[in-house]
């Protein structure tokens, strides 16, 4: 947006939408809910990819970037931006092609037919990867939060048990003093 480009947002899931709707409500074009989905599968990613490709074919955008949390470990998730349209070609792939000496290959069926089939599958695969990484990151964050909650609850139980025992000991001591004082008074 700082470069003067128009930004449109397609939200997948409720949490992302809830965060973005405050600042960018006018830029959100659609929200895809996955609330009832128990296990993410390729069919979910394929539907999202079809939606993105249909919008691309309609000329609604020229660059699509996928934002997700990449799972690194249970306590570390990395915010990641991955451009899926147009596809970024890794530098290793271009250097590998150059090492082949610029060999020419013939394809059957032709390149256009192959790419027409493979590019939508690639986008769906990238979206599935992002969904699974995001789900793993969420589970890791939940696991870490539950571990911290369990540890904090154990600490609280220890402090409360100590307080209870001290209070009980003070009450017993007070009763003993009252009994001794009563016996001396007789």
Chain segment 58-86, per-residue pLDDT in tens:
888 888 999 998 998 888 888 888 888 88
Label residue 13 left, alpha or beta by phi (over 0 means left) and psi (-120 to 50 means alpha): left
Q: Which of 51, 76, 80 is nearest to 68 (CA)?
A: 80
- For the segment(s) 37-145, the CATH number from 3.40.1380.10, 3.20.20.100, 2.10.60.10, 3.50.30.30 is 3.40.1380.10
Q: Which pLDDT does position 145 carry in this prediction?
A: 92
| Full-model pTM | 0.73
What are the extents of the domains in the chain?
37-145
Query: Which region among 74-78, 82-86, 105-109, 124-128 has the lowest average model confidence (pLDDT)?
Result: 105-109
> In the predicted model, what is the mean pLDDT of residues 100-113?
74
Q: Which pLDDT does position 118 carry in this prediction?
A: 87
Residue 26 in tokens: 């006018």
Q: Which of 40, 17, 72, 46 is nearest to 126 (CA)?
A: 46
Q: Does 99 score more than 70 pLDDT? A: no
**C-alpha dihedral, 142 to 148 to 154 to 156, nearest 10°:** -110
- Provide long-range contacts, Cβ within 8 A and 24+ apart, for 119-126: 119/87, 120/49, 120/50, 120/53, 122/87, 123/49, 123/52, 123/53, 123/84, 123/85, 124/42, 124/45, 124/46, 124/48, 124/49, 125/42, 125/45, 126/66, 126/82, 126/84
> In the predicted model, what is the mean pLDDT of residues 95-99?
60
> In the predicted model, what is the mean pLDDT of residues 98-123?
78
Q: Does 186 score more than 80 pLDDT? A: no
Q: Which pLDDT does position 168 carry in this prediction?
A: 96
Tell me how far CA of residue 59 lies from CA of 55, 56, 95, 178, in angstroms.
6, 5, 32, 90
> In the predicted model, what is the mean pLDDT of residues 149-169?
96
Q: Which pLDDT does position 117 carry in this prediction?
A: 85
Q: What angle do CA 115, 120, 124 make, to 5 degrees?
A: 145
**54 CB burial (10 A radius; 0-12, 13-18, 19+):** exposed
């Amino acid at each position: 947006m700082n470069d003067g480009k128009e930004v449109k947002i397609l939200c997948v899931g409720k949490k992302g939408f809830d965060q973005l709707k405050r600042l960018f409500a006018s830029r959100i074009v659609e929200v895809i809910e996955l609330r009832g989905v128990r296990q993410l599968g390729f069919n979910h990613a394929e539907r999202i990819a079809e939606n993105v490709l249909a919008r691309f074919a309609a000329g609604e955008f020229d660059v699509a970037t996928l934002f997700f949390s990449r799972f690194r470990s249970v306590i570390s998730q990395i915010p990641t931006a991955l451009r899926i349209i147009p596809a970024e070609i890794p530098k290793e792939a271009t250097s590998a092609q150059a090492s082949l000496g610029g060999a020419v290959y013939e394809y059957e069926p032709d390149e256009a037919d192959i790419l027409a089939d493979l590019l939508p599958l690639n986008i769906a695969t990238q979206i599935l990867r992002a969904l699974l990484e995001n789900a793993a990151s969420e589970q890791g964050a939940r696991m870490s939060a539950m571990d911290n909650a369990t540890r904090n609850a154990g600490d609280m139980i220890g402090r409360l048990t100590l307080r209870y025992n001290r209070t009980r000991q003070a009450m017993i001591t007070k009763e003993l003093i009252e009994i001794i004082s009563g016996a001396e008074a007789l």
